[in-house]
Structure 1
Amino acid sequence: MAGNSFGQVFRLTTWGESHGVAVGCTLDGCPAGLALSVDDVQRELDRRRVGQSKVSSQRQELDRVEILSGLFEGRTTGTPLSMLVRNTDAKPGHYEDIKQLYRPGHADYSWDVKYGFRDWRGGGRSSARETIGRVAGGAVAKLLLATAGITIVAYTLQLGGLRAQQIDEQEIERNIMRCPDAAVAELMVAQVDQARRERDSLGGIVEVRARGVPPGLGEPVFDKLQADIGKAMFSIPAIKGVEFGEGFGVAHARGSQHNDPFVRHADGSIGTSTNHHGGILGGISTGEEIILRLAAKPPASIAQPQSTVNQAGDPATITVHGRHDPTVLPRLVPIAEAMLALVLADHLLRQRMDRV
């Protein structure tokens, strides 16, 4: 099966299934000499981990990472980094009774049509558990970016109709919704509780920002920076929309309103006085903050009876049991950061090859 690798110079391949023995990744192209420890990767995986709060799946996985290769005496060797996380709380029996039924909102039917066969244990490869490999690789990418002064932050901007009214980044990791507005975070938790009681789920928006990105990253024409970021974000399960800067708001603006005037900053660098463009013009970074937002659908696994068909096309009713997220947003935050880090790390290394 193709499509399991991402990036050109800084290249990540993920592997494993939701209820298989393990999941993990191989990261190739990381320069030698980068300081790296298991704790650096574990810290990010702990943020993504299931069972960490009442607004996430209650599957209990420690997600302890093992670095198998590419690391010696606390530094990367320049050879492929291979990382593994074992599945310790897999319960495929939860899916035995519905393995012949197509779950609404899931990839069951489309995978059957494509391959003529699928892993029905929690979606197998199409499960969000695959994102463990992305977050592990993204942890390394973040360390590489930090050497160039680049930082990334993401947070839950909106849940349903509730939207953060202020952005206090110190608040993000203080609440279980990872929302930068403490008051709105409390309302979000209450809304998730209500949806769970009603055996339903909720969608929302995560905002991601990258700072310190130098101007010049991105490859015209088909490897534009926003094109690669868009591909990265759309590859995350549950993502249905991605917008940069003003996003779809540009449809209501005039050029005189949307254009960002160029200025000379206090440090002597050239930039823009506003940032409607979200840090990318012509597919190349401008040096301004990169800003994007991801629209995530409500998790498809809900405990309400739903209409469907079986593999023969016969009408049926399905009720999905097991342990599932009532919203993906808090765990989407570290995944989104990881995917943006992977893209920026790849383009940073590519830019170093583009000119003397």
Structure 2
Amino acid sequence: MKNISFSLIALFLVSAIHAQFRADGRTDALPDGSITLIGAASSVSYTTPDATIRFVLKSGDEHHAYASIEIDGVYSGRIRVEKNQKEYSLKAPNDARAHLVKIFKATEATNGPLYFISSPNTLLDEPKPLGKKKIEFIGNSITSGMGNDAAEIPCGTGEWFDQHNAYWAYGPILSRKLNAQFLLSSVSGIGMYRNWNDEHIDEAIMPDVYDKLYLTKESTKAFPDTFQPDLVSICLGTNDFSDGDGTKPRLPFNRQKYIANYIGFVRNIYRKYPKTRIILLNSPMVSGAKNEVFVSCLKEVIAAFASDKNHKPISLFEYGPMVPKGCGSHPDIEDHKKMAAQLEATFKKLLDE
């Protein structure tokens, strides 16, 4: 990697530009010049004059990972990234003199880091962000794009993350429509006071890991507050309302714990981002009586901030009925597109106010 210098601050910047490379999302710049893609849909972008796009990646865990590639605004597919360092190549979709390449982490923080090592013959032109507006999407497996892409590996086969494609999750889809920068803080199976199959005994919940860059309880690096989103979207509750695997003992849903943790979490968001505004989402995977309780809890959280004069009012969005068609009853790519379409008018209004 040529002519790249990283400042100490850049090691923690969420959206940092290091010479010809731009990193977005939960990322970490390493002393050797490589960039760690941590969170779902975190990315590296750069420009190159080459008709054959080449870059070096490697999975930071003992298993493979996935990256989704966009060239000149065109989705160019998802590639499997092995644990051994390897150069990957794709043909540019046109004969332009320069090509804008974006490499997104298709998997999530739980799957371990994805390392962007280098790319030959990059231009010094600094890639520009999508737009000035910024959105952070906080959530679980839905927000991460789990189970949404079974085009190559059918549901129920391979590893549990083989159908992940965060590029096609509702947050990135919506952000591209709104020409907004985005950041995903999401972990599959996680909840606000308990997780999919854990009563906050063995596993960390979102309030435990949100302020950690790597979204794990073992990590020590802090998640910086440099991104400063205009809007924070929170979609957490699917796993709190879940019945688990049906085998492990599961307590009844605790409304008080859920609401108390949610209120504390919102306060933490305001501490981190004093000028942001917040929208709470229910879940396309929760329906019927559970959804009624879910929505009533979100309304109670919002009511707790009714007298807050320092921030804009918290909004609530309720998804229309959906029968998710992805793996494990998760939304597939078409479902995510529909979710983004449902959100578009509301998010645009909030960003414009």
Structure number with higher helix proportion:
1
Instruction: Tell me the TM-score normalised to structure 2 length.
Output: 0.26
Instruction: Tell me the TM-score normalised to structure 1 length.
Output: 0.26
- Bigger radius of gyration, 1 or 2? 1
